[in-house]
């Protein structure tokens, strides 16, 4: 079955069919795009067929009937299954007098009442087993209790992405891996439940990241100042190879370049007049970086006293003929050999990039400035590399969309 993107092609049967044209006009007046309007009309057509199958008319759209429809909707659809999704259609039908007025929404009361509703939702609408439902309820209980501490009536209207993230940051590190995974999954399901039941205006489930986000142990540690000095000291500045290796390490440590970016540097990328360096990175990205004095000096020493005389335009060359440009893995080998000579064990070149990010942060730079240095497309990537605290991460966070500022 092919998708429909033309609102006029949505077929209606049932009690809402007489209002389909007027509803389509309402969507057009509100500025809905063709595809979005079609999706809304398909939802209305589904509701109309469902009412017809139960012998109900538009005047039967009471709160319990709407809730029953949404239960069935969720079983077969992955979107537009919340009470908010029906707001526009129900609002129109109520304005023209064919659907009953909206019933006053009773605020959710105690923690146990809300958790009982969540458990019923899991059992009836998500068809999970009793042990799984009980485990999910157990995992989200601390979050609900945390919300209740500042919202005694649990109206839930003030729950936002920051509160979700704050709970995870404070709660997950104390858990084992499996428990943390289950907690993240449970909370994501709970937030979908809140939105589906109309208790929150925005679906906040996406505020719970994939569990891999919380695995900090796999991140490389930055080198200490003593280790940096030992690494540099392991390169002989009196030899051609030593001058090359010092310049390579300087580019990695001070500019945070990737191995491929160091290997790809060309003589034409060095602008000595303006003190800049052109870097060609991932996805054909080209960036202009300032050239620090110490990095420039290391490059000058290599170019004048270490680089073989050749027509090659690549900056870094092999030490023996035929003199060709270094491959990315050769750059990594330079770091590895220097680390072993310094007695530092195994150190991969990418750890120097991480060291550059951490050093820049410790010098007072913002994550946004570090993101520019490392040329990250995503701020989240910078946060992972920097392994920074929440106050710095907040400088990159965008406001979660709310009911009043949805795109």
Q: Which residues are catalytic?
A: 258, 282, 350, 353, 376, 385
Residue indicated by tokens 């003199």:
323
Q: What is the DSSP string of 181-225?
A: HHHHHHHHHHHHHHHHTTSSSS--GGGS--GGGG--TTSPPPPPH
| Chain centroid, CA 321 distance in Å | 47
CA–CA gap between residue 163 and residue 178 (Å, rounded): 23
Give the contacts of 55 (CB within 8 A, at least 6 positions apart): none
Whether the bond between 322 and the residue before it is cis, its omega within 30 degrees of 0, is yes
Asked if residue 382 lies in contact with residue 375, where contact means CB atoms within 8 angstroms, the answer is no
Residues in the chain: 407
C-beta separation of 202 from 163 below 8 A: no
3 state SS of 18:
helix
Pairing of β 270-271 and β 276-280: antiparallel
Directed axis angle between helix 34-53 and helix 87-95, to 10°?
70
φ, ψ for residue 108, nearest 5 deg: -65, 140
Query: CA 162 to CA 168: how far, in whole Å?
Result: 10
Contact by Cβ (8 Å): 42, 7: no
Q: Which residue has the tokens 């129900």?
A: 90
Tokens of 93: 């039908």
- Given a contact cutoff of 8 angstroms between Cβ atoms, the answer to whether 168 and 214 are in contact is yes
Joined together, the tokens standing for residue 76 give 């077969």
For the chain, what is the radius of gyration of the CA atoms?
A: 30
């Amino acid at each position: 079955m092919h998708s429909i993107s033309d609102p006029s092609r949505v077929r209606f049967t049932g009690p809402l069919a007489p209002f389909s044209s007027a509803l389509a006009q309402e969507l057009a007046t509100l500025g809905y795009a063709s595809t979005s309007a079609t999706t809304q009309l398909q939802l209305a057509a589904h509701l109309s067929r469902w009412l017809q199958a139960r012998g109900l008319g538009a005047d039967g759209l009471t709160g319990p009937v709407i809730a029953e429809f949404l239960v069935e909707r969720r079983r077969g659809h992955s979107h537009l299954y919340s009470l908010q999704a029906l707001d526009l259609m129900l609002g129109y039908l109520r304005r023209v007098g064919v659907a009953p007025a909206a019933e006053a929404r009773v605020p959710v009361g105690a923690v146990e009442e809300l958790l009982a509703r969540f458990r019923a939702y899991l059992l009836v609408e998500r068809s999970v087993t009793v042990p799984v439902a009980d485990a999910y309820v157990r995992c989200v209980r601390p979050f609900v209790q945390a919300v209740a501490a500042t919202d005694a009536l649990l109206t839930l209207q003030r729950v936002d992405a920051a509160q979700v993230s704050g709970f995870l940051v404070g709660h997950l590190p104390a858990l084992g891996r499996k428990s943390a995974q289950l907690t993240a999954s449970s909370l994501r399901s709970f937030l979908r439940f809140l939105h589906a039941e109309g208790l929150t205006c925005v679906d906040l489930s996406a505020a719970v990241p994939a569990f891999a986000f919380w695995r900090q142990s796999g991140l490389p540690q930055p080198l200490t100042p003593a280790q940096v000095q030992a690494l540099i000291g392991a390169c002989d500045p009196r030899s051609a190879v030593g001058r090359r290796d010092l310049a390579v390490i300087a580019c990695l440590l001070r500019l945070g370049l990737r191995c491929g970016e160091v290997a790809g540097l060309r003589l034409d990328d060095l602008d000595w007049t303006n003190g800049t360096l052109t870097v060609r990175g991932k996805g054909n990205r080209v960036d202009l970086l300032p050239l620090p004095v110490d990095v420039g000096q290391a490059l000058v020493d290599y170019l004048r006293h270490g680089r073989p005389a050749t027509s090659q335009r690549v900056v870094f060359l092999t030490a023996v003929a035929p003199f060709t440009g270094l491959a990315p893995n050769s750059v990594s080998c330079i770091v590895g050999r220097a680390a072993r000579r310094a007695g530092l064990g195994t150190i991969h070149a990418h750890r120097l990039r991480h060291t550059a990010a951490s050093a820049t942060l410790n010098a007072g730079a913002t994550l946004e400035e570090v993101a520019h240095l490392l040329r990250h497309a995503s701020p989240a990537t910078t946060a992972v590399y920097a392994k920074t605290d929440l106050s710095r991460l907040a400088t990159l966070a965008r406001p979660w969309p709310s009911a009043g500022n949805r795109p």
